[in-house]
Amino acid sequence: MKIAFIGLGNMGGGMAANLVKNGHDVRAFDLSEDALTKAKSNGCETFTDAKEAVQGVDAVVSMLPNGGIVKSVYADAVIGHAPEGAVLLDCSTIDVATAKEVTEMATAKGYRMVDAPVSGGIAAADGGTLTFMVGGSEEAFAAAKPILEGMGRAVIHAGDAGAGQTAKICNNMLLAISMIGVAEAMQMAQKLGLDPQKFYEISSQSSGYCWSLNAYTPLPGVGVESPADRDYQGGFATALMLKDLRLAMAAAEEVDAGVPLGARAASLYEDFAGAGNDGLDFSAIIKTYK
């Protein structure tokens, strides 16, 4: 397929490269010259104008920083410029309301569109092992699925427009809460004199089992290899976790959902990021308890 890819940052660059590896003709656009140079080296055809990039394509994939930019790009450069038969896939993490609004805009002009935020981080984006949670009609999902499968290992239809974003922010709120819980428990065990590796061996095989402990251990030299073993570099940045928590808090307020633990997690990550740690992996929150 001929696919336009808009947004070639830490995540988008690897995703676009995997589409090329899967045999697609990728027309890449970004404002960064460095990102375009890297995309070209990965086999993409590059463009400095998004409107030109979407000409004659079968699909448009976007990976952008926030809802305002997503809305602007689709309104100004995609809708009405990409062929009407193209399927539109926004893989950004944005607010639910904007995801629904942009889908309505696209649908009104005859396009099929999905919101398809991802889970997995930079390593999964580069390795083609992302999980996609997808919102949109059954028809739009069916059209988008083969493209998403070229970038990930799990593609799940969450429901109608906006459902993908709902799944993403709720999932990441849960992830933040569980990582804080693991960090507190590991530090407390250590201060009480229990060897951290022994705590990991016990809790990872008992009722404390969870992804944050078993697959992403936040203490260096303990459990599985994780960003903690690389001085908390790479992985999923604290700034991105905080972005998702802010989206979750805004959504909770809109529907009057009680999220006291989510609110506390958001507050802790606000403080942690504000102390100059926004570039560290989110598991570095364990530093707060030392």
> Burial of 126 by CB count in 10 Å (0-12 exposed, 13-18 middle, 19+ buried)?
middle
Q: Which residues contact 186 (CB under 8 A, 6 or more apart)?
A: 196, 199, 200, 213, 218, 219, 222, 286
Written as one letter, the residue type at 198 is K
**SS3 of 99, please?**
helix
* Length of the chain, in residues: 290
Provide the annotated active-site residues.
Answer: 168
Residues 158/165, Cβ–Cβ less than 8 Å: no
What's the token pair of residue 145?
């699925």
Rounded-to-10 torsion of CA 49, 55, 77, 132: -100
